Structure 1
Amino acid sequence: MREKLSKLGLDLPTLPTTAVGSYPKPAELKKARRKFLKGELKVEDLRPLEEKATREWIKIQEDVGLDVLVDGEMYRGDMVTYFARNLEGFSISGLVRSYDNRYYRKPVIKDKIEWTKPITVDYWRYAQELTEKPVKGVLTGPYTMMDWSFNEYYPNRKEACLALARALRKEVEVLADAGAKIIQIDEPASSARPEELPEFSEEAMKIMTNGIDAYFITHICYGAFEFIYPEMLSLSVDNFDLEMSNSDLDLVELFEKKPFTKDISFGVIDVHSHVIEDEDTVKSRIERALETLDTNQVWIDPDCGLKTRTKEETIEKLKVLVNSVKETRKNLD
């Protein structure tokens, strides 16, 4: 996909480094968000704190040396409820457990889903104005929005998913119009029901991406990929962002049997561990990737978002990632 990146004016180095999306929020912002959820603060009261945290994370990413940045998602509580709150047709239920001691407020589809205003564009634009490096636009995809919501309006999962795709397509359009050249559509639920991939998940992704001049990534971490590979390669995106290190790189064995034909953001940092990986470990993961994948199709990033780690852990993990890639690049030269 190097040609597409070049046409978009993106001159990225070999093995581009990036992050998935989220970073840990500072304590003052988390405290303010809790007050907001209790109705004690207005959304505009959060904005200065969100912008301050965004500025800090853009600077950190630049200082560490990442090639493609993210805004850090300081304005989001979680990846589904945030979008549901900003689309017509949803109400929000009580807390539902997602994993470990993490909870989110599960959305409920009550009426026709409609997009009425930009959801991520202002923060993407704010972040991009802070740096000359490309910043990814990041949004949650229609399949995951459907799968992680209660549906009380549409007749079935397919109709709910496609309605979400048509609504979220408008968010993709405004991101691209604002100048986002790399757009990531998060679909961690992709392998939830393998039979739905050809049935309508592929159609939903086409609705999201077709005819838009951007380089598309889909992030589909922590799934049962053995049940959807290689069929998942039919999704109309340029790059698959996959969790690899947490599962001991076992997906590489699938790639050896049936070649991976698109670009891949290869996760080399375990985001669910407090342990800071050493460079030899990360370099060995990159080397394993390059045994099977072509250098020109590989990006390097953490397994998933880093919001569950401390700020200090996050910075150290990113440093190890970038330094390991630098060493690998030297060896490739």
Structure 2
Amino acid sequence: MAVSFSELGLDLPILPTTAVGSYPKPPELKEARRKYLRGKLEEEDLRPLEEKATRDWIETQEEIGLDVLVDGEMYRGDMVAYFARNLEGFEMSGLVRSYDNRYYRKPVIKDEIRWRGPITLDYWKFAQALTDKPMKGVITGPYTMMDWSFDEHYPDRRAACLALARILRKEVEALVDAGAKIIQVDEPAISARPEELPKFAEEAMRIVTENLDAYFITHICYGAFEFIYPEMLNLPVDNFDLEMSNSDLDLTGLFKDEPFTEDLSFGVVDVHSHVVEDEDTVKSRIDRAMEVLEPEKLWIDPDCGLKTRTKEESIEKLKRMVSATEAARDELEV
């Protein structure tokens, strides 16, 4: 790690539990957001609903017993479009299918990208003030922002990616200056073109993270990890948050051949399934994780954000995750 937890003033248990980022929005907030996007509601009218939903999810995470919390992203729609709408240089195009029957408006880079000011800071501060537990700052990374946008301004993908990295660095600096100790950079697209990882994806992440007093996580999900491992370990972060359960933990085989050298947030519940895993199943996944990594290097979380699940499913999955982790901790103490 670039910095230790003690240096950051963090007191985390072994096998810290957390969530990736998003939670399901309540029906009244979903309807309000639809009205807002159709121009029938002002942005300030969303804020009370977003704050209430955020407060509810903070209370729920506290009750469940998570160790590191997230704000739940009640104020965000799509992870890329949300940032693009808050940066100069972007315009929004039509709907593009991302997966299943889910769509997002693909951003278009029309001009030089500029930072207007903090994008996530206000809600991070609001959420952190509701709890004594550490609150992750969560941003979408420059490679994914570049890959999931049309570029009509920069000469090539590298130039667009590095421009975004310099802008997102400002967002991270604002979070760190405000007291955020744990920053997560979401990069689900990082395995899309393996040849670009050493060419400029690593450089972009370095721009975002270097020389800052924070613990950095990168979340990478549903990608072709076998094509970027172990090279992805060169990304300058402290922790890799990986989807594991949806792929039947097959990545652990790679880790036996090429040891995992950083901390690992190990996904133990499948967020694309309505099935709520029983505690024994989740515990077996944690045990499998400890076969390839020391417990001191492991975090426990879902595969990805939970926004596609119902509130009830999300809560039950997190409860099973926390209870299974507590059982694993008890065994480590024996």
Paired with 2:143 and 2:96, the residues of 1 have a C-alpha distance of 18
Question: What does 1:154-169 correspond to in 2, within 5 Å?
Answer: 154-169=154-169
Q: What is the CA deviation profile of residues 13-50 of structure 1, one whole-angstrom value per residue up to 9, with x for unaligned ones?
A: 01000000000000000000001001111111100000
Name the counterpart of 1:24: 24
Paired with 2:160 and 2:46, the residues of 1 have a C-alpha distance of 31
Paired with 1:2 and 1:216, the residues of 2 have a C-alpha distance of 9
Name the counterpart of 2:43: 43
Paired with 1:56 and 1:239, the residues of 2 have a C-alpha distance of 28
Give the secondary-structure state (helix, strand or coil) at the position aligned to 1:300. Answer: strand
* Structure 1 residues 117 and 2: CA distance shift in structure 2, 3 A: closer
Paired with 1:266 and 1:6, the residues of 2 have a C-alpha distance of 22
Name the counterpart of 2:316: 316
Paired with 2:40 and 2:183, the residues of 1 have a C-alpha distance of 34
Contact 2:3 2:215 in 1 (8 A): no
**Structure 2, gaps ≥5 residues long:** none
In the TM superposition, residue 2 of structure 1 has moved relative to its aligned partner by 9.9
Whether 1:192 aligns to 2:184 is no
User: How well do the aligned residues superpose, as a CA RMSD in angstroms?
Assistant: 0.8
Q: What is the CA deviation profile of residues 164-208 of structure 1, one whole-angstrom value per residue up to 9, with x for unaligned ones?
A: 000110000000011100000000000000000000000000000
Give the secondary-structure state (helix, strand or coil) at the position aligned to 2:273. Answer: coil
Q: What is the CA deviation profile of residues 262-295 of structure 1, one whole-angstrom value per residue up to 9, with x for unaligned ones?
A: 0010000000000000000000000001011011
Contact 2:206 2:236 in 1 (8 A): yes
Paired with 1:44 and 1:318, the residues of 2 have a C-alpha distance of 32
Paired with 1:163 and 1:2, the residues of 2 have a C-alpha distance of 24
Give the secondary-structure state (helix, strand or coil) at the position aligned to 2:308. Answer: coil
Contact 2:2 2:215 in 1 (8 A): no
Give the secondary-structure state (helix, strand or coil) at the position aligned to 1:183. Answer: strand
Q: What is the CA deviation profile of residues 284-323 of structure 1, one whole-angstrom value per residue up to 9, with x for unaligned ones?
A: 0000010110111000000000000000000000000000
Paired with 1:185 and 1:89, the residues of 2 have a C-alpha distance of 21
Seq. identity, %: 76
Name the counterpart of 2:226: 226
The residue type equivalent to 2:18 in the other structure is T
In the TM superposition, residue 243 of structure 1 has moved relative to its aligned partner by 0.1
Name the counterpart of 1:135: 135
Give the secondary-structure state (helix, strand or coil) at the position aligned to 1:5. Answer: coil
* Structure 1 residues 280 and 34: CA distance shift in structure 2, 3 A: same
Q: What is the CA deviation profile of residues 206-250 of structure 1, one whole-angstrom value per residue up to 9, with x for unaligned ones?
A: 000011110000000011000000000000100000000000000
Paired with 1:327 and 1:47, the residues of 2 have a C-alpha distance of 39
Contact 2:110 2:151 in 1 (8 A): yes
In the TM superposition, residue 68 of structure 1 has moved relative to its aligned partner by 0.1
Question: What does 1:230-309 correspond to in 2, within 5 Å?
Answer: 230-309=230-309
In the TM superposition, residue 4 of structure 1 has moved relative to its aligned partner by 1.2
The residue type equivalent to 2:112 in the other structure is K
Give the secondary-structure state (helix, strand or coil) at the position aligned to 1:88. Answer: strand
TM-score, L = length of structure 1: 0.99
Structure 1 segments of 4+ aligned residues over 2 angstroms from their partners: none
Q: What is the CA deviation profile of residues 100-149 of structure 1, one whole-angstrom value per residue up to 9, with x for unaligned ones?
A: 00100000000000111110000000000000000000000000000000
The residue type equivalent to 2:53 in the other structure is A
Give the secondary-structure state (helix, strand or coil) at the position aligned to 2:268. Answer: strand
TM-score, L = length of structure 2: 0.99
Paired with 1:278 and 1:210, the residues of 2 have a C-alpha distance of 40
Name the counterpart of 1:325: 325
Give the secondary-structure state (helix, strand or coil) at the position aligned to 1:33. Answer: helix
The residue type equivalent to 1:59 in the other structure is E
The residue type equivalent to 2:182 in the other structure is I
In the TM superposition, residue 327 of structure 1 has moved relative to its aligned partner by 0.5
Contact 1:2 1:296 in 2 (8 A): no
Contact 2:3 2:213 in 1 (8 A): no
Paired with 1:36 and 1:116, the residues of 2 have a C-alpha distance of 22
Name the counterpart of 1:201: 201
The residue type equivalent to 1:124 in the other structure is W
Paired with 1:25 and 1:6, the residues of 2 have a C-alpha distance of 35
